[in-house]
Amino acid sequence: MSAPDAVLTARDVSIEYEVDPPVKAVRNVSLTLNRGEILGLAGESGCGKTTLAYGMNRLLKAPALMTSGEIVFHDRDGHDIDIVALDGDGLRAFRWDKISMVFQGAMNSLNPVISVKAQIFDIFETHRPGMSKKDKQARAEELLTLVGVDPSRLTSFPHELSGGMRQRMMIAMALALDPQVMIMDEPTTALDVVVQRGIIREIMRLRERLGFAVIFITHDLPMLIEISDRIAVMLQGQIVEEGTAEEIYRTPQHEYTKKLLSSFPSLTGERGDFVRTGSQPSQEEIR
């Protein structure tokens, strides 16, 4: 049974990269995302954060394989959808409509030779085939306005936009079908600090206005403490600690969480050391 306000539930999810030797990237992870909340997923590079996110949205590609567990989407109409069991048309209909994703590196996610308008229209043509051209245009302009971009930029190509504008375009595309869940994989990576803050404020504003839930993936734990309702800390493919943002900040329980918090510089106090724990489990752990 899921929590009454849950929108997405993962239970005992394990994902393995079938290489020689096999790498268990995600190991028996269970998470619950509640409606309208921001769930932060923190951890160092290589700990399995993005692999887990791709698994929850059925975007894994070989040699990655989900070897066990279940992922269930609890629709607002009361129906439960077994994401693992979806295939073909059912999976295509589910993605973007129920769960959307903002990928790391907007320039690599947008098609460089197609205008922004054509890429947004492509979403409508795939998921809303009966939508008129006039309605597509109106919705596309509305989406750009939502994320703080002048609708005149619809005719632009990705290389004509700044990094911040490209990331806002990706957020607009993720919002196109009014999803209930948005997975954001380090959406502010490679952006300068000022632009990062603008993107974060935009995400918070849109969440408040539209009510979608967010899984926000980053190695930046202090930022997650600022924006998240709850935080899960990931290490070597496992969730080692989970709690409210305040609990993680004030009373972290796991040694790795404490090290993550202490690894970010303070304006006052003595300098500390952060010992990298290592992202991959040992061969003994794999066996």
- What would the pLDDT profile of 118-138 be if each residue is shown by its tens digit? 999 999 999 999 999 999 999
Instruction: Put the strands of the sheet holding 213-218 in their side by side order.
Output: 99-102, 181-185, 213-218, 38-42, 230-235, 238-244
Decide: helix, strand or coil at residue 230.
Answer: strand
Query: Given 128, 144, 178, which residue is the final one in a domain?
Result: 178
Q: Is residue 1 part of a domain?
A: no
Q: Which amino acid is at 87?
A: D
pLDDT in tens, 195-233: 888 888 889 999 999 999 999 999 888 889 999 999 999
Residues 53 and 22 in one domain: yes
Does 158 have pLDDT greater than 60?
yes
Q: Is residue 227 part of a domain?
A: yes
Residues 142 and 48 in one domain: no
- Please give the tally of structural domains in the chain: 2
Residues 133 and 260 in one domain: no
**Integer angstrom CA distances of residue 22 from 17, 25, 130, 189:** 6, 9, 46, 29
Residues 92 and 116 in one domain: no
If you count them, how many residues does the chain have? 287
Q: CA-CA distance, 150 to 263, in Å (whole number)?
A: 39
Residues 6 or more apart whose CB falls under 8 angstroms from that of 146 comprise 172, 175, 206
Q: Where are the beta strands (DSSP E) in the chain?
A: 6-17, 23-34, 38-42, 64-74, 80-82, 99-102, 181-185, 213-218, 230-235, 238-244
Q: CA-CA distance, 276 to 263, in Å (whole number)?
A: 10
- For the chain, how far is it from start to end, CA to CA, in angstroms? 32
Q: Is residue 150 part of a domain?
A: yes
Q: Is residue 211 part of a domain?
A: yes
Q: Are 170 and 109 in contact (CB under 8 A)?
A: yes
Tell me the mean pLDDT in the region 92-97: 90
Q: CA-CA distance, 56 to 82, in Å (whole number)?
A: 11
Residues 16 and 155 in one domain: no
Tell me the mean pLDDT in the region 159-163: 90
Residues 71 and 184 in one domain: yes
Query: Given 158, 178, 198, which residue is the final one in a domain?
Result: 178
Q: Is residue 221 part of a domain?
A: yes
Residues 82 and 210 in one domain: yes
Residues 271 and 136 in one domain: no
Residues 187 and 91 in one domain: yes
Q: CA-CA distance, 76 to 180, in Å (whole number)?
A: 8
Residues 199 and 225 in one domain: yes
Which structural domain range is residue 265 located in?
6-98+179-286
Q: CA-CA distance, 238 to 27, in Å (whole number)?
A: 5
Q: CA-CA distance, 220 to 264, in Å (whole number)?
A: 9
Q: Which amino acid is at 58?
A: R
Does 287 have pLDDT greater than 90?
no
Residues 29 and 117 in one domain: no
**189: confidence class by pLDDT, cuts 50, 70, 90:** confident
What pLDDT score does 270 carry? Answer: 62
Beta bridge partners, 29, equal: 13
Q: Is residue 146 part of a domain?
A: yes
Extract the tokens encoding 36.
């309208």
Query: Given 152, 178, 204, which residue is the final one in a domain?
Result: 178
pLDDT in tens, 41-61: 999 989 999 999 999 999 999
Residues 91 and 131 in one domain: no
What is the domain-level CATH number for residue 36? 3.40.50.300
